[in-house]
A and B are shown apart, each in its own frame.
Chain A
């Protein structure tokens, strides 16, 4: 099995791909893709066998972070390296938000915030009835937690005790507007999710050791669904993007791209020392 160090290196490689795509498209959502990429990389490496028909699935409910998913699918050979430069361009398979029509391996068509956890509930119910033991992940953004449908589906997930569903909340504290808790306060988030009858774990979502531990704990939890609240840094890995709401969405200039690449190369050097 892949070790923590390899996972970290892979996540960093995926970061490079994210930056490349958004630079090439001159559009996209770098901040939220970079905050979620660590746990997303771990999920795919530990639990998603894309070669198997019966497998764990990932619903990227915060669909605007799709560059993160494409980066991973590229590392798996489903998307070609050169195809990354077609992101968000006309006639490309790499749509601005996940679409199973062009890339079935994204698992669910998303993009309209708030809907993905419900989709995961449907997948989890079907898997349970079919007696399949694999998981379904719903990857939800913190801003997205403001959508009413999320709270409908939290009720449903817990009501049906969907222990095969793992909810990941990418809590990077920033949405399109600015500070997510200033636009509409989510706190106390941990207590709320717990009160909805989830086994609730809170971690540093950019710390691979904690991520792997939390996922293991989720797999072992059988009496209720698990939610992992990932405290993350929006724009993680790229110096000028970190914690800067400006980088929720937007293009990356040539100059910025060079700085970003250097930042990520430096991380790589540290990791491979």
Chain B
């Protein structure tokens, strides 16, 4: 496959501006990181609807709740670790009230490589999955990210969108993004299914190619909607393929792998499952590529895990 590499973070501000142009309810909240999250553009175009909170993430999330209570559609855009971690109870309160708040967590997983373990968000999916009523979307290309934002605006309730800071292949899918619907990106047979979340798209694509070269014929699946998750497709795969491997830029505890394990475990028989992601450890500083390589998110690990589950 030939594709250009892109960074989804770069378009967050641009897309939010596009939607805000025709929808006065859209606000952006920032906690001193607008330069990094690319929402500066929104501030310039819609200063009244751009709320700088200062470095106060918990309060920012609660302010978003207040805006939602007044019928507005606030997007709290920040690093994933702050949105999901620092502001967790505030987010949980917003969800308890089923408020129409939207969160964009970028610098997901190990994408903020050099800042080190303190800034790696390898737990955001776990943390947010456990909160009732929050929907979780992970786009893997520009088109999908735009559609994810559109879905979030159209849905009345809390939505978390996980956005990469590292690069992903710009491979667009014909299928329009939907809540609870995964995308079958490639289907060459029933040996295995490689299921990835958007921010791990690059390594998933490379792993899939490597497996093809080794003569394995399987499926490459982009989960897109982590919650609700495509139960139907996972059930179908579980009795079709020999093994399933999940690929996530995240801890292997409670994220994508955990979500799929929870579905498979309820069946009397199912394909064997293995996880590719960060084991139960803290990471370290390094380029995002090096950190991912060292902490399990690499092509060799994908190939090994697939070979194990289809043995």
Contacts and interface: CB of A to CB of B under 8 A. Distances in A.
Q: Do A and B come from one complex?
A: yes
Interface of A: 57, 59, 99-101, 107-112, 114-116, 118-127, 129-130, 136, 148-149, 152-153, 155-156, 159
Contacts of B93: 109-112, 115
B180 interface: no
Given A109-B99, A152-B58, 12 more contacts: A101-B96, A111-B93, A119-B66, A121-B62, A122-B64, A122-B74, A123-B66, A123-B69, A125-B67, A126-B71, A149-B90, A156-B59
B97 interface: yes
B59 to A, nearest CB: 4
B97 A156 contact: no
A115 B96 contact: no
Nearest to B56: A152
A-B pairs, 4 with minimum CB distance: A122-B66, A118-B62, A126-B70, A109-B97
A109 B62 contact: no
25 contacts: A101-B97, A108-B65, A108-B69, A112-B89, A112-B90, A115-B58, A115-B90, A118-B65, A118-B66, A119-B65, A119-B66, A121-B62, A121-B63, A122-B63, A122-B68, A122-B70, A123-B69, A123-B70, A125-B63, A125-B66, A126-B70, A152-B53, A152-B59, A153-B63, A156-B59
B126 interface: no
Interface of B: 48-49, 51, 53-54, 56, 58-72, 74, 89-90, 93, 96-99
| Residue from A121, A122, A126, A156 whose CB has the most chain B CB atoms within 10 Å | A122
Given A101-B97, A112-B93, A122 B71 contact: no
A122 B96 contact: no
Nearest to B51: A125
A89 B37 CA distance: 45
B63 A129 contact: no
Contacts of B90: 112, 115, 118, 149
B58 to A, nearest CB: 5
A152 B98 CA distance: 24
Contact of B62 (A101, A125, A153): A153
Nearest to B67: A122
A95 to B, nearest CB: 10
A130 B67 CA distance: 11
Contacts of B67: 122-123, 125-126
A126 B72 contact: yes
B268 to A, nearest CB: 36
Given A155-B56, A156-B54, A126 B66 contact: yes
A159 B66 CA distance: 17
B54 A127 contact: no
B59 A108 contact: no
B51, B58, B60, B63: which has the most chain A beta carbons within 10 Å? B63
Contact of A121 (B66, B68, B89, B96): B66
A155 B55 CA distance: 11
Nearest to A53: B71
A129 to B, nearest CB: 6
Contacts of A57: 69
A129 B65 contact: no
Contacts of A111: 93
A81 B130 CA distance: 37
Nearest to A121: B63
B65 A122 contact: yes
B63 A156 contact: yes
B23 to A, nearest CB: 14
Contacts of B74: 122
A101 B133 CA distance: 13
A136 B72 CA distance: 16
Nearest to B66: A122
A31 to B, nearest CB: 24
Nearest to B64: A122
A136 B59 CA distance: 17
B69 A119 contact: yes
Nearest to B58: A149
A129 B70 CA distance: 11
Interface centre among B65, B66, B72, B90 (most CB of A within 10 A): B66
B70 A118 contact: no
B74 to A, nearest CB: 7
A158 to B, nearest CB: 12
B59 A153 contact: yes
A122 B58 CA distance: 13
Nearest to A122: B66
A119 B56 CA distance: 13
Given A109-B97, A152-B59, A130 B70 contact: yes
A155 B59 CA distance: 10
Of B56, B74, B98, the most chain A CB neighbours within 10 A belong to B56
